[in-house]
Amino acid sequence: MLVQLMVAFYGLPLFGVSVNPFLMAVIVFTVNEGAYSAETMRAAMEAVPAGQLEAGYCVGMSYMQIVWHVILPQAFRTAFPSLFNALISMVKDTSLASSITVVEMFTRTKQIAGQSYNYLPLYIEVAVVYLLFCTVLTYLQKKGETILGSYGVRK
């Protein structure tokens, strides 16, 4: 991620492309996570048994109907933990954006700590904020997995 940020931010101006650092960070994070998420979904869709596609055709569904109503729900259930872990990882990776002059939470903490010479308490505070974000996301992930785990279960 760091190399991609550096290449995009410092390399693109060599070709006449100059972009706001924040926008560049958003683009790089989006492309990076999009590639990983696409591969996760591809693998999850391939994990759905081929018989599901055949069963959909047997009941008269079109290919898109089968994908939307049969394959994607099963694939999403498989991919959900990995996709959510990637989201949590991306939250932690946002501090890398400081390498291309984006002022984010960790950068601002470094600036304040440099003025006050009070490093440890400020860094602990940032760590607690990241921990809170990740804890909330982990809780949401657990709830989502519980909901998806009950998919297709008859009561």
- CATH assignment at residue 35: 1.10.3720.10
Q: Are residues 56 and 70 in contact, defined by beta-carbon separation less than 8 angstroms?
A: yes
Residue 154 lies in a domain: no
Report how far apart, in Å, the C-alpha atoms of 139 and of each of 25, 109, 128, 131, 144 are. 27, 27, 16, 12, 9
pTM score: 0.81
Position 104 pLDDT exceeds 90? no
Q: What's the rounded mean pLDDT across residues 21-26? A: 92
Average pLDDT along the chain: 91
**Considering the chain, what percentage of its residues have pLDDT values greater than 70?**
97
Residue 91 belongs to some domain of the structure: yes
117 in a domain, yes or no? yes
Least confident of 56-60, 110-114, 150-154: 150-154
CB 47 within 8 A of CB 78: yes
Look at residue 37 and tell me if it is in a domain: yes
Residue 107 located in a structural domain: yes
The tokens 């390498």 sit on which residue?
99
Tell me if 13 is assigned to some domain.
yes
Give the pLDDT of residue 155.
60
- Give residue 25's domain range: 2-149
Our count of domains for the chain comes to 1
Q: Which helix (H) or strand (E) holds 17?
A: none
Residue 22 lies in a domain: yes
The pLDDT-based confidence of 57 (bands split at 50, 70, 90) is very high
Asked whether residue 120 carries a pLDDT value surpassing 80, the answer given is yes
pLDDT in tens, 74-87: 999 999 999 999 99
Instruction: State the average pLDDT over residues 37-52.
Output: 95
Radius of gyration of the chain (CA): 21
pLDDT of 131 strictly over 90? yes
* Surface-to-core class of residue 102, CB atoms within 10 Å of its CB (0-12 exposed, 13-18 middle, 19+ buried): buried
Query: CA 76, CA 82: separation in Å to the nearest integer?
Result: 10
In this structure, of 102-106, 124-128, 132-136, the range with the lowest mean pLDDT score is 102-106
**Proportion of the chain above pLDDT 90, given as a percent:** 74
